[in-house]
Amino acid sequence: MSKKKVKKLVDEKGIRYDGRKFNELRPIKIEVGVLGNADGSAYVEQGKNKILAAVYGPREVHPKHLALPDRTRLRCRYHMAPFSVQERKSPAPSRREKEVSKVIREAFEPAVFTEYYPRTSIDIFIEVLQADGGTRCTGITAASLALADAGIPLRDLVSACAAGKVDGRLVLDLNDVEDKQGEADLPLAYMSNLNAVTLLQMDGMLTSEEFEQVMNLAVDGCKQMYQLQKEALKARYFEVKEAINQEAEKQ
Amino acid sequence: MTSSVVARLKQKKIAELVSLGKRLDERGLTDYREVQVEIGVIEKAEGSARVRLGKTEVLVGIKIEIGEPFSDIPNEGVLTVNAELVPLASPTFESGPPNENAIELARVVDRGIRESKAIDMKKLCIEPKKKVFIVFVDVYVLNHDGNLIDASALAALAALRNTKVFNYEVKEGEVQIKPGYKSLPIRNYPIAVTFAKINDILAVDPWLEEEQVMEARLTMTIEKDEKICALQKGGTGYFTIQQILEAAKIARQKAAELRKLVVKK
């Protein structure tokens, strides 16, 4: 079953068909520390995207020959659940998933103090439970919080957001329909305090002026995301603090 | 001669020189190595090209087959790009299914061709929903001396321009091949330009040893009207916004120069 094409994605007033303004993110819900076994974890909903991220490590590397003598081996698996999309996706990792896993790993390399943990591995697992466009960005947002939750020292939180061109307009945070029918999509990951772009990809066509504007739009999106990430982390540790206080009162 | 390890001293030298705006092989920061393009090197392929970028050597072969279109675009042909990092090309390449580097290479080349709409896919439809031409672009790396992306993208474009599609007619739902050929309908010329960030400075067309020293890599694919049609950041470092904008400026110039090697009027 293929969905019918939406004719107009952005109306005359610049309002998108899901009601958002050009520079507006989708509604976001973030929870940190959601999994029992993982050293760190986070769950993020961004519009209809539902994504879980878990971090294990620093831990012993398997297989052992992959251990690096001077730093940790950062590994990442981005994976989509078979039921996450309209038509069932085979659970075997696709070429797309392998590429996305690689670029996400490279988006975190500049953030993690890899030299602190020689001969270990830090494994990031991202599971897309439901996909609605921009999943690599939502995945990075979640994985970044999972790393922080695992207590791994980071130079900065990595935030990610896409921007692009839809119906001739430059817009922030494209959803699935906008991504597929739009003219360009540019996912970007960013460390807000360091002005460092750690992931940058694009498909579509943009003039150099549009490119600059889209990139700035994406960076603004990342900065908004950064605030939300910080709040979510604080909320998590407030919860922990409360729990400890309650325990103390009982005794 | 080729080794996967670069001596610390040499690494240091490469980085120091880049800070001074120089390079170990005496190029400037925005100079490509010598580029050679040869077309029609494999007769049995519908199109082919061999590109030499310094000592890097890439062969691209195009095969055309008839197959089914994707259900969501029933009236367009299909493009498939695959890359093989064959073990004869480098001591670091191993046999086996494509690893993440090969997959990334193929997908970056694919993105340039697809997003610039280089091939007129509608003209590759034989019978909507049933039969279309499938264009297989196979990138074969023969010698790895750095910057495989640019060499492969250039070879792919040269090969596509050199590709012939067999004539056919449809009789009672059957496709019959007729004598003679037509050129593949090409309407855009995407060119990939790759930068290495070494010591926080951008250098174009990194060779192998520079790639081992670089902090990060950025590829920009530029189409014929100077629009950007694909981007890919790689490597363990990062770029600032200013660096990316600077790269875009250089990429447009470099793409125009490289394009002349493939698109001769």
pLDDT digits (tens, 9 = 90+) for B175-195: 888 899 999 999 999 999 999
Q: Which residue has the tokens 């760190």?
A: A40
Range of the structural domain that residue A108 is part of? 28-87+96-235
Q: Let me know if residue A149 belongs to a domain.
A: yes
Q: How far, in Å, CA of B173 to CA of A158, rounded?
A: 55
The answer on pLDDT for A3 being more than 80 is no
Q: Is B250:B203 a contact under the CB 8 Å cutoff?
A: no
Choose the closest CB to B103 out of A99, A186, A216. A99
Residue that wins the pLDDT comparison between B104 and A4: B104
pLDDT at A6: 62
Does A66 lie at the interface with B, CB-CB under 8 angstroms? no
CATH number of the CATH domain containing A82: 3.30.230.70
Q: What average pLDDT does this structure show over A167-175?
A: 96
DSSP codes of every residue in B123-174:
GGEEETTTEEEEEEEEEEEEE-SS-HHHHHHHHHHHHHHT-EEEEEEEETTE
Is A203 touching B (CB cutoff 8 A)?
A: yes
Q: ipTM value of the model?
A: 0.93
Q: What is the mean pLDDT of residues B233-246?
A: 97
Is residue B264 pLDDT above 90, yes or no? no
Residue A66 is predicted with a pLDDT of: 95
Closest residue, chain A, to B249 (C-alpha): A208
Rounded to a whole number of angstroms, the CA Rg of chain B reads 20
Higher pLDDT, residue B4 or B211: B211
How many other CB atoms are found less than 10 A from the CB of residue B75? 13
B-chain residues within 8 Å CB-CB of A203? 111, 114-115, 229-230
Domain count, chain A: 1
| The pLDDT value given to residue A5 | 61
Per residue in B97-134, pLDDT tens?
A: 999 999 999 999 999 999 999 999 999 999 999 999 99
In tens, the pLDDT along A13-52 reads: 889 989 999 999 999 999 999 999 999 999 999 999 999 9
Instruction: Write out the two tokens for B17.
Output: 């020189």
For CA atoms A237, A241, A244, A246, give the dihedral sign: negative
Is residue A11 included in any domain, yes or no? Answer: no
Structure tokens at B175: 């496709």
- Tens-place pLDDT, residues B18-66: 999 999 999 999 999 999 999 999 999 999 999 999 999 999 999 999 9
CATH 2.120.10.30 at B8-262, yes or no:
no
Rg (CA), chain A: 19
Nearest to B71 among A2, A98, A194 (CB): A2
Written as one string, the DSSP assignment of B31-79 is ----EEEEE---TTSSEEEEEEETTEEEEEEEEEEEEPPPTTSTTS-EE
Amino acid identity of residue B128, one-letter, is P
pLDDT confidence band for B1 (50 / 70 / 90): very low
Instruction: Tell me which residue in A196, A202, A212 faces B245 most closely, judged by beta carbons.
Output: A212
Let me know if residue A161 belongs to a domain.
yes
- Domain assignment present for residue A23? The answer is no
Mutant choice from A95, A103, A113, A154 vs B, greatest count of B C-beta within 10 A: A95
Q: Tokens 């250089």 appear where? A: B250
Q: At what angle do helices B148-161 and B100-115 cross, to 10 degrees?
A: 50
Tens of pLDDT, residue by residue over B55-65, are 999 999 999 99
**Residue A1: predicted pLDDT:** 39
Domain boundaries, chain B: 8-262
Question: Is pLDDT at A231 greater than 80 in this prediction?
Answer: yes
The pLDDT assigned to B4 comes to 57
Q: What's the confidence (pLDDT) of residue B157?
A: 98
